[in-house]
Amino acid sequence: MLEFVKRWTGVLLLSAVALGFILPGMAIFKSAILPLLMLLLYCSFVRMEFKLHNFFRKELLIFPLVCWVVFPLIVYFTTGWMGIQLQIGFLLVVITPPALASPIMVSLAKGDLEYTVANVILFNMLAPLIFATIPRLFIHHTDLNINYSHIFWRVVVIVFVPLILAYFTDKLAKIKEFVITKIDPIKGLIQMFLIATAVANSAKQIKEMSSFHLISIPIFTFVLVGILYLLGWIIAKDRMMKFTLPITTGHKNTLLTITIAIASFSEITALPAVFYLIAHHTYNGIIISLSRNIKIT
């Protein structure tokens, strides 16, 4: 069963999205999103190797420059027509740290795995500060009562509790083996469940959107994600990075964003992350396919 999930991950992820729309009643599991997300983070951190020298590569400047400096400005000033809640949603998703599954995607594309792991660890650790500061720079003239302190501490708990637990687990061989052999293999199934639940939680809002928004927002999302992947491809200097930077720049920890958006804002604010989730897995498939069919010297 687990081998089947691993082999058909892309199809199953999209199926989980469809399931959320078909079964909106799955929204009753909304309270399980946070603890299960932390479990996924914990399993991912347990498997990652923390090598200090990997955190001093100049390429690590690419993600914060693109996603925390340049694109927040672009996204904020091009989404005003959507309304403030969707505008916040797109701002949140563009500053979202790299996806914890990025190393898996990069390894499938035969990219630079060590760089990817450093990219994921470093910028997920900085996520609490980023989620609490960048939106504050843009969203200061609305009637929304946004508690940035609560956002900061919520992300701290979500990211650092699993990270600290993973650190101590690494010191305990038997527990680490149990996590890797018994819990980690079902991570894919948990992710599918979380995606379906998150989509179900937003299904009502999506169905109530106007035809114009229902068409334009997914198109905007796919264009935005496509630009991030293309930018990573253009910046890369060699073959290995050609199949690394698009994923490390565009593949984001959307489940974290969906959790923060729902808890701190609204289901509508979570919609961009839901559409982004579909888009980045589509582009991951393209990059992996290109890595197997194109030779770059």
Residue 270 lies in a domain: yes
Segment 8-66, tens digit of pLDDT: 666 777 788 788 888 989 989 988 888 988 898 888 888 777 777 778 888 999 999 99
Residue 17 lies in a domain: no
- Number of domains making up the chain: 1
Element (H, E) at 190: helix 187-207
Indicate which CATH number applies to the domain containing 187: 1.20.1530.20
Residue 22 lies in a domain: no
Residue 194 lies in a domain: yes
Residue burial 216-241, b: 16+ Cβ < 10 Å; e: rest: ebbebbbebbbebbebbbebbeeebb
Question: Is residue 5's pLDDT more than 60?
Answer: no
The whole domain housing 36 covers: 27-293
- Rounded to the nearest 5 degrees, what angle is found at the Cα of 153, between the Cα atoms of 41 and 262? 70
User: In whole angstroms, what is the distance from residue 194 CA to residue 163 CA?
Assistant: 20
Question: Is residue 229's pLDDT more than 90?
Answer: yes
Residue 117 lies in a domain: yes
Residue 264 lies in a domain: yes
Question: Is residue 109's pLDDT more than 60?
Answer: yes
Best CA proximity match to 204, nearest among 160, 255, 262: 262
Q: What confidence score (pLDDT) does residue 296 get?
A: 60
User: In whole angstroms, what is the distance from residue 247 CA to residue 239 CA?
Assistant: 14
Question: Would you call 77 exposed, middle or buried from its count of C-beta atoms within 10 A (0-12, 13-18, 19+)?
Answer: exposed
Question: Is residue 245's pLDDT more than 60?
Answer: yes
Residue 14 lies in a domain: no
Residue 98: beta bridge partners? 252
Residue 15 lies in a domain: no
Average pLDDT, the chain: 86
Q: How far is CA 76 from CA 20, 58, 288, 293, in A?
A: 28, 27, 30, 37
User: In whole angstroms, what is the distance from residue 60 CA to residue 64 CA?
Assistant: 8
